[in-house]
Amino acid sequence: MAPSAVTTEPPPTPQSKQLIPRSASDPTKEKTPLQAISQGICLPGIPLFSTHDKHRAWILSHMAGAFRVFARYGFTEGMSGHISVRDPENPHTFWTNPLGKHFATLKASDMVLVDYEGNAVGGNTSRPANAAGFLIHAAVHKARPDVNAACHCHGRAGKAWSAFARRLEMVNQDVCYFYGEAQAVYGEFGGVVFSEEEGGRLARALGEKGKGLILRNHGLLTVGHTVDEAAYLYTLMERSCEIQLMVEAAAANGIPKVYVDDEAAEYTFRMGSDPETLYCEFQPELEYERELSGGAFEN
């Protein structure tokens, strides 16, 4: 039996069950999520910068590092795929990758700065940006002032799950980072995005609180306060699609699913999906990439 023929919606929550707060003895009470997960001194969170230039240099190096992580995970597909990051000084402009350059070779100096009209206004102007990518990212940045970074690629598991045009289910702890309004589905597909209207519809589907978007017959898009957050969420969402497909295969053979209940899913989301924690989640990948490349992506 095909996975799509199996009923996979979570069982309804009984009306009498209420989501109750954690007890007063909860050790995470009065702590930030990052403090709660740190046994001992707290991990350092998102750094602050004294000048826009220093902030920009940091953003671009982390952006280039994220591309190299994506390459290592196999998220490349020809010229498809892009990351955008809002400029810290001129928030109506954003940085993105040059068209036709492999993710594994990208450096901070390769990035292109574009405005909301699609004009290249800074950075590396020797190559164009991706036109379809520009329309997607411009729409997201316009619609969501809280979003500083967005990632979109055509990963294998994301493309496979997108064929169902369905949300990821709360089948494990990690996918709870996309609980509730944190994930959405864009249920339309009109081919490569070459119209401003299509980009606008996509941004509206993401919603005001969305962190991850499943694009029907297309792939995934994630957003964040930092490029680190958006990149970590992309790797997590891609992996969650892979796990969901594995679960669907098992369910198709008659093995029943057990879902994370709403209270636990909401608590996990609240304690793990804030910008500081998600920034820190990506740092091990970035540190490993720095070791592999000798920091070449930072130039």
For 2-58, write each residue's pLDDT tens digit.
333 333 344 333 333 333 344 455 655 678 999 999 999 999 999 999 999 999 999
The domain segmentation of the chain, as residue ranges, is 52-293
Q: What is the CATH number of domain 52-293?
A: 3.40.225.10
Q: Which residues contact 50 (CB under 8 A, 6 or more apart)?
A: none
| Residue owning tokens 């290592």 | 72
- Quote the CA–CA distance of 205 and 38 in Å, as a whole number: 35
Digit-coded pLDDT (tens) for 111-123: 999 999 999 999 9
CA dihedral 259, 181, 64, 143 (to 10 degrees): 170
In angstroms, the CA 124 to CA 295 distance is: 20
State the pTM of this model: 0.89
How far is 110 from 7, CA to CA, in rounded Å?
A: 47
Dihedral angle of Cα 247, 248, 253, 254, to the nearest 10 degrees: 80
The rounded mean pLDDT for the chain is 90
Residue written as tokens 């941004």? Answer: 203
**pLDDT tens digits for 236-285?**
999 999 999 999 999 999 999 999 999 999 999 999 999 999 999 999 99
Cα 249 off chain centre by: 25
